[in-house]
Amino acid sequence: MKWLLPALALAAMPACASAEHAVRLPAPTFDVIDTAKSRVAVFAGGCFWGVEGVFEAVKGVKSVTSGYAGGTATTANYADVSSERTRHAEAVRIVYDPRIISYGTLLQIHFGAAHDPTQLNRQGPDTGPSYRSAIFPQSPAQRQIAAAYLAQLGKAKSFGAPIVTRLETGAFFPAEEHHQDFMRRNPNNGYILRWDKPKLAAFRATYPALAR
């Protein structure tokens, strides 16, 4: 949903919303052992505020940045992305320690708790391609793991509807500063209370061993 509001009011309101439930999914049957100290993952799944909030609570995650992926640098800003003509998706860039949490486990959280991968070009009440479900692999290994997990979940019929998540390419661009750490900095925001805090609570309840 888009709001036609003055700029100050728009800045004070959440940009988007996502499903506030979690699904207990099986771990990926195909994953890799990685002894590097740091890796990057980029996921899209509706509102970057809520997705960011979930992954900030994951063990082994060092940092999460909200931003845009799939379009060009010149349109990587909230006003342009909201036009739904930029090819960007609201996304998060996750820096993680693969010795603590694997890429496959991050995917398990993304599909199981961070968003609903069966919603096409939307999450909850927010519609448009910028809210699509997508994965932006940062290496051939990540692409292989993601493709295998999508096939695993599809074969197991883990959801009540087909998974619509896309594997995409494209650079990541950080969002404006006021979007960063939004849930943590604005815990009493009405939209955060309605959508994102319940989602974070559901993640903690469903995947307690993965939460800090």
Q: What are phi and psi of 116, to 5 degrees?
A: -105, 105
Structural domains in the chain, sorted by start? 26-210 (3.30.1060.10)
Does residue 150 register a pLDDT over 90?
yes
Q: Is the pTM of this model over 0.95?
A: no
Tell me the mean pLDDT in the region 56-80: 98
As annotated, the active-site residues are 47
Residue 178 pLDDT exceeds 70: yes
> Residue 62 is encoded by which pair of tokens?
């060092």
Would you call 42 helix, strand, or coil by DSSP?
strand
Q: How far apart are CA 130 and CA 123, in angstroms?
A: 10
More confident residue, 13 or 137: 137
- Assign 18 a pLDDT band (cuts: 50, 70, 90): very low
- What pLDDT does 126 receive? 85
Under DSSP, the state recorded for 178 is G
pLDDT beyond 60 at 144: yes
Q: Which of 66, 101, 100, 99 is nearest to 173 (CA)?
A: 66
Phi, psi of 33 (to 5 degrees): -85, 125
Per-residue model confidence (pLDDT) at position 116: 96
Predicted confidence band at 73 (pLDDT cuts at 50, 70, 90)? Answer: very high
Give the per-residue pLDDT at 12.
Answer: 38
Q: How far apart are the first and last CA of the chain?
A: 32
Write out the two tokens for 38. Answer: 């740091």
pLDDT over threshold 50, residue 14: no
Q: Which residue has the higher pLDDT, 4 or 43?
A: 43
- What H or E segment, with its residue span, contains residue 62? strand 61-69
